[in-house]
A = this chain, B = another copy of it.
Amino acid sequence: MAAYTLAAREKTAGDTIICIPSRMGQVKIGTGHCTVIAGSCAVESREQYLPLAEKLKAMGVHILRGGAFKPRSSPYSFQGLGEEGLRILAETRELTGMPVVTEIMDPRDLDKVYNCSDLLQIGSRNMQNFSLLKEVGQIDKPVILKRGLAATIEEWLLAGEYILAAGNQQVILCERGIRTFESMTRNTVDIGAVALVKQISHLPVIVDPSHATGLRSLVIPVARAAIAAGADGLMVEVHLQPDQALSDGPQSLSPEMMESLLKDIRDPRGRVS
């Protein structure tokens, strides 16, 4: 297999730092920063999403997340609000001034998603959707690339290489747990991979402790571990009423838990500011 070269550490003088402009000032992702992305799994409605966004903004979260197009194992599960979800995201961005990230699942949605968000997310199921990778490789906004459930570190970097090779240098890798035999947790977060990728690549690496565990009670300890291992940030699911979430409720934090997590990682070294 031809190796990754653009993603490799030796190819750049230093680490890649990604800058996202926003009315609230520039948000940076990369070595030396600890960037927090939070929001509900899906954008469920204007009434659900806007108050959540305001709350997260007040806490000091840097970037909002919210899914408009949701990849669901079953065709009978809630599939997201689609374009209506994008509109709510755009309005939220306008009202709060915060940058937003949302998932793109289909290359034909590129323009719409591009217009409503500041970063684009490629989900774990699409990590090797090469058509989609080539497409987001041609835009000028950052892409968060989640690791596939059974993707090796090499394949993950090579998926990033597809985007880099197509011209987009703003790639953020996101470890979100791999699939193992363990069934008490939804996935097994590969904390060693986070440390290893920081060593062999110059790209920023963040961790999604929500999907990695599937259990609310594990999100905070795993988030702490991620930062301790060298992750450049977190992507966390939060819901004002986790028990009523249309998707991923069991792994969503309440705002109180989110606040506690933020306090926890704002350690004496002041990585979160």
Q: Does A59 contact B (CB under 8 A)?
A: no
* Known A221-B229, A222-B191: A184·B152 in contact at CB below 8 Å: yes
Least distance between A163 CB and chain B CB atoms (Å): 9
Least distance between A240 CB and chain B CB atoms (Å): 24
Q: Does A256 contact B (CB under 8 A)?
A: no
Complex alpha-carbon distance, A105 and B131, angstroms: 7
In chain A, positions 178-212 with a C-beta closer than 8 Å to chain B are 178-185, 188-196, 198-199, 212
Q: Number of A residues whose C-beta is below 8 Å from B? A: 70
* Residues in B whose Cβ lies below 8 Å from that of A2: 74-77
> Are the CB atoms of B77 and A106 closer together than 8 Å?
no
Residue of B nearest to A199 (CB): B217
> Are the CB atoms of B75 and A165 closer together than 8 Å?
yes
Residue of B nearest to A124 (CB): B128
* Residues in B whose Cβ lies below 8 Å from that of A217: 195-196, 199
Complex alpha-carbon distance, A113 and B46, angstroms: 40
